Amino acid sequence: MSKIRSYESFYSKNRDLMLERVNEAYEVFKKTKTYEYPKWLYGNPIGKIIKLEVEDNPNFGDTAYIEMDSARTAFLSIDMQTDFCGKNGYVDVMGYDLSLTAQALDPIKNALDVVRKTDMKVIHTREGHDPDLSDAPFNKILRSKIIGQGVGIGEIPKNGLGRLLVRGQENWDIQKDVYPIAGEHVVDKAGKGAFGSSTLHMLLKNLGVTHLVISGITTDVCVHTIMREANDYGYWCILMKDGTGATDYDNHLAAIKSIKMQGGVFGNVTDSKKLIDAVKTAFANKS
């Protein structure tokens, strides 16, 4: 019979302190259905406290709220590039319905119009590869060529704007309706995720970000991957569901549902109206 290891006693103090904080937050949640902003962890707010409604939490059909310090919150717009939601881009060449990814444009634009008037950070990402494709795996390029019926990453499709998913090409850049403005951040990444293939994590830490409102495309691939990565690093993640889209609508719905499982296994879900209303309410308060 194997013996269960007994760890050194010095582990217990920090464990007990953490569980004490968790229990305090749990009691608050039971009374208010709110994930209260943890001052003990982040310090006093340096911006406005935004109280955002999230859906199906902790169980489907329930409503809860999450508090965010506006100055420590980033609005993340993921890969809103022509290659993923525009004519003759990568997704179009693969033969998918562009309206399913382009549906994210208007909700993101509407949210940006409000967020840009606050001290919330705005970060955009772009997926793409170096011109020599040295950061693009062989199997990724091969699969793209097969689904593109002979035209894949690094090549120019018929009537194309440039080489697919290659940095510096017109099709690789962000759509004009949600294009970055002065003072916003752009992170270029080589993969579906961003924490291992870009400087996103370093940027978030340097900006002091604790909470992420996540939008972009595609829901089930890049958006979901980045949300999962961020969740593992302790960021509070909230998906703005109408500001996302996927090449398959069922996958879009499944990706959203999976976030809500287990009381929010990857974070929480809201929509652009709830976000806009919450931000306006917070900044209408003069205190």
Which residues are known catalytic residues? 79, 189, 222
- Report helix, strand and coil shares of the chain as percent, to nearest 5: 40, 20, 40
What pairs with residue 188 in β-bridges? 126
Pairing of strands 236-245, 268-270: parallel
User: Encoding tokens for residue 182?
Assistant: 């002065």
How far is CA 120 from each of CA 70, 73, 265, rounded to the nearest angstrom? 5, 5, 25
Per-residue CA distances from 231 to 1, 7, 235, 245, 267 (Å): 37, 27, 5, 20, 7
Q: Where does residue 83 fall: left (phi above 0), alpha (psi -120 to 50 degrees), or beta otherwise? A: alpha
- Among 278, 219, 285, CA closest to 68: 278
ω into 218 cis (within 30 of 0): yes
How far apart CA 173 and CA 230 sit, in angstroms, is 24
Q: What are phi and psi of 233, to 5 degrees?
A: -90, 5
- Coil/strand/helix, residue 152: coil
